[in-house]
Structure 1
């Protein structure tokens, strides 16, 4: 099956991001790398930042099939960390782009929505009410925390393994969910254990 045009553009962009400073990448260099006409780019994307957002959105959707469902949240965290681990060199550069259309905003928006969806489905599965404003607070706080943890891990000089990072993030989220469920159900902590 031949590679479609969007995939060629995304693959070319990924290769360029890993190989050179992002500031030197433009639509012309992307399309030369892809072996396509420059004007074709605009049939699919607004700018180079739009391509980065699409790379993340499409690839993470493929990597984390159950993204945003309480029942599968541990697998989701595992899949997301594995995805970033596999694409480490690319994301080490991408998350350091500090410009108006930085792809970090796309990543953070996705992680926030994932957290909101997990807590919403947790409320349904565990039969507890989660106040809408508190759910928004959790979404913003935990989404930012997840991004911060991944970012620090990607940029570390001596990062822990994918498995260890996954274990840390899963424990962090599990502790937060357990704490919420304990408070929501008003369970005495001495009853646990």
Structure 2
């Protein structure tokens, strides 16, 4: 795990200093002071490193992300993670290749929202049509990723204000669904 982390740290360091399309596996391994071939013991390509960085760091930053009761604090933790790693993700989110990290982020957020909604349905004893459930997941995750990109782009973004607005937005969406289904609304 130490070697894998060294490769990830070297990749993060390089992403901050040069465009991703100019970073090679050789550059990464030279920065990590490791043999080039060692890279392939841990990763398929440099995009795989970005995916691992995101997945491992977000997993650590966002605990209990599948629970309906804690979704507001989950959103704050997620946004705080991106704020703390702003320069890195400002560059990463611009990568527009086949294996773009934005897709990994979008998929993660979509799965997280799906887990939160599924937990809400269990707790509230409601049935939501599978097609509509998927629609809500996609809409919310797409809008959150678009907002995240705007947040990352603007260095003067206020973390507290942005987190509060996202919480209100999600609470409004969840409450709209609950009201439509005749359920008590969510209060924070």
TM-score range, shorter chain: over 0.9
Structure 1: gaps spanning 5 or more residues: none
Q: Contact between 1:123 and 1:129, CA under 8 Å: does it hold in 2?
A: yes
Aligned to 2:51: 53
Correspondence for 2:64: 66
Q: Does the Cα contact within 8 Å between 2:124 and 2:183 map onto a contact in 1?
A: no
Q: Please, what TM-score do these two structures have when normalized by structure 1?
A: 0.92
Structure 1 range deviating more: 47-56 or 178-187: 178-187
Q: Which residue number corresponds to residue 176 of structure 1?
A: 173
Say if 1:120 and 1:130, in contact at 8 Å, map to a contact too. Answer: no
CA contact (8 A) 1:66 1:72 kept: yes
CA distances 1:86-139 after superposition (whole Å, capped 9, x unpaired): 000000000000111111111000000011111110011112211111110011
Do the aligned partners of 2:61 and 2:78 also contact (CA within 8 Å) in 1? yes
Contact 1:27/1:47 (<8 A) preserved: yes
SS in 1 for 2:70: helix
| Structure 2 residue aligned with 1:103 | 101
Distance 1:11 1:95 in 2: 18
Q: Normalization by structure 2: what TM-score? A: 0.95
Instruction: Find the residue that maps to 1:148 and give its secondary structure.
Output: helix
Shift of 1:157: 5.3
Mark the runs of 5 or more structure 2 residues left unpaired by the alignment: none
CA RMSD of aligned residues (A): 1.4
Could you say what secondary structure the match of 2:98 adopts? coil
Total equivalences in the alignment: 185
Deviation of 1:186 (Å)? 6.9
